[in-house]
Chain A
């Protein structure tokens, strides 16, 4: 059987049994929906990905785009795939009815997208970027801009990009230099961008770049950055399209996501590149950041999807590959056993499972909070969800990428020498996965965001909300009859993280911000381990509930309990030494001098 990309039963379990996502349909905003539309949409994306996207995965990896006479040519298969993917309604699925979307909850959209990402992250990437660009136009564009650009983006006639990065401005976007000079109703843009994914291709009529630039005379730093819509082709006087002085001097040769071109963009080399301001001048980064939770959760989802497809590949391989015998079997003529019979192989599979399915619950939980933050019935509930979402976002962005990379490496390991060969797919997923640690804010940046901003937000309010969620998960687990040792382990770890946070906050408030942030990456790691432990306890509780009521698939539920045990009893205690190190402020890497390397 072909790789299923995502475990259908497990996904449905997390969505409905663990997170209760069917209740979203009770919110007025989602009143036109119900479990049947949720499932129909997920099923449609699943089938599309299995039938259309996944078969194109290897061809796209093998033949990356080329630059011919200044224009990018992508893999010809994308010409067939793109319109079909757009016809499904992927781009505007979660947007409101009034702008032509279908108002499906972000949680369900994400669940469906997981299949598309797992099947072919590069092909899906065009749609993800187009959704992102359209959302910016919808949220901040003038009525005229929305009128002109939104529909073709939603239909996929035009594709969208995010043109933020410049050579000197990657992590530090406040350093962008691209200039915007006022001229009539528009601005003239000049500058260059790098790594712009989907920056040019030959599958849509037009490309719409969302560009960060500084208006002439704007102050330095964040406050001087504005957001512009810059089309590849602009509307001409005669109603047709004409070039907009956007050119592609080069392509980035990438190790993953190879079907999706990432390009160098030159804006206004002939002084005739027109852009239109989106939102308020000087608020470009603020506007971008408003979409940041969404974009970062998407990256997390990609991390989960890329780890998922490799995990499922390794399960199939491990059940199929005969090698060696039981250690107690002394008969050299007995048949070899499938490697899944070896405990060490099961160790690797279980670790993958815990990472993939813990990550799955994490990104879906974050998306659920995004739905609640926007549409919960009371302002208090919305505020609570927003705080929790903000807190979970750096974790949801980085955990699937970092641990997913480990999980992808385990997929290679389980394949032995064959995993190291490019005839087998695990190595391609490893290459794809690495990007998720880099774009939309590197893992280092996520660590600083979590410790420097998110856990301190609202006077520690976000952290107490997480504490309440953990407490309610513990209560649910206790009611369901989950092993008390697991519940205690989570309680203890949560308390440890709380105390550590207070101590680090104290250092920050005492004026020593460097000392506070010294271990931000370590803090991110241990914090993520605890958050995922919370989600595993919830899964254990839901599994126990289902077993007690003789619902669900018994093997799947036992697998959930095994992975929960692994995370809560094996992985969670590992944070102890990390907590201690962060507390002691062990400072070898603060002290080490660049010249000592």
Chain B
């Protein structure tokens, strides 16, 4: 059964860039920072492509943000997605608003499956997929992972970790949880968020980049969607984490115990 998959591709700061907080704490210094697709979204795109390669269908990639987010949409198209939707919005967003926008896109596109990263590496919120499932009243499987290792033969052969049932009506998803892995079945349409060990995303290719240029990308102004765009979360201040103190040597285990209990208060 062909699957129509909506997948997200957020533009985030490249963790390889040195991130500095502005002196007044209102944000980060963006000069000289590189951007890329959120790595968890990249995993979602990869999984979407594998499902499409196996079952047919369509992969629609969505990004919400400033015009520059087009770069991340093109990156996903270069990997093999079919078309894009750029929801243009300058200014702050929070997971609540993002899920409201995705909800509108869901209404419009009626996908069988929405694949998202479990979180984005800029704010590490881990909420959008869950909100979206709740808004739509759909089943969700968060932290999709894999039983095989990323070095396994299944992975080399690009086997999907998110598996469609024979009747095409549900998905079987292995989830990464605190104690290990759990397997859940979720009926379609469903919302799935992807964890780190689900797959190794492919590299795009130059032919892919050239093809991506010709693939359609719809641009929608966020304000036109009839969604309340005011974030519920207000960022008051950003600050650097405290500098790490140098280590110290202790003579023996009792001293270590005393320090952990008395000074560090971790025991």
Residue numbers of A with Cβ under 8 A of B are: 1, 4, 8-9, 32, 36-37, 39-41, 44, 47-48, 84, 87-90, 93, 102, 104, 553-556
Contact = CB atoms under 8 A, between A and B. Distances in A.
A36 B78 CA distance: 12
Given A1-B16, A37-B210, A102-B210, A89 B32 contact: no
B214 to A, nearest CB: 9
Given A89-B207, A102-B207, 5 more contacts: A8-B34, A40-B212, A44-B203, A47-B203, A88-B206
Interface string B203-219: 11111111011000000
A40 B32 contact: no
A9 B32 contact: yes
A62 B206 CA distance: 32
A426 B74 CA distance: 38
Nearest to A551: B31
Interface in B199-233: 203-210, 212-213
Contacts of B75: 40
B170 interface: no
Nearest to B200: A51
B147 interface: no
What are the nearest 7 A-B pairs in CB distance? A89-B206, A553-B32, A102-B206, A89-B205, A40-B209, A88-B205, A89-B207
B127 interface: no
Contacts of A1: 16
B50 to A, nearest CB: 16
18 contacts: A1-B16, A9-B32, A36-B71, A37-B210, A40-B71, A40-B74, A40-B204, A40-B212, A41-B209, A44-B78, A44-B204, A44-B205, A47-B203, A48-B203, A88-B205, A89-B205, A90-B206, A553-B32
B203 A88 contact: yes
Nearest to B210: A102
Dominant secondary structure at the A interface: helix
B246 to A, nearest CB: 10
B206 A104 contact: yes
Nearest to A555: B32
A178 B141 CA distance: 67
A102 B205 CA distance: 10
Given A36-B71, A40-B78, A87 B210 contact: no
Contact of A37 (B16, B31, B34, B209): B209
B32 A556 contact: yes
A84 B34 contact: no
Contacts of A36: 71, 74, 213
Nearest to A32: B210
Contacts of B213: 32, 36-37
A4 B74 CA distance: 24
B243 to A, nearest CB: 15
Contacts of B32: 9, 553, 555-556
Given A36-B71, A37-B213, A40-B209, A87 B16 contact: no
Interface string B56-85: 000000000000000100110010000000
Nearest to A39: B71
Contacts of A554: 31
Contacts of B71: 36, 39-40
A494 B213 CA distance: 45
A4 B16 contact: yes
Contacts of A88: 203-206
A9 B210 CA distance: 24
Given A37-B213, A40-B209, A41-B209, A87 B203 contact: yes
Contacts of A90: 206
B38 to A, nearest CB: 15
Contacts of A9: 32
A40 B209 CA distance: 7
Given A1-B16, A32-B213, A36-B71, A44 B34 contact: no
A555 B29 CA distance: 13
A553 B31 contact: yes
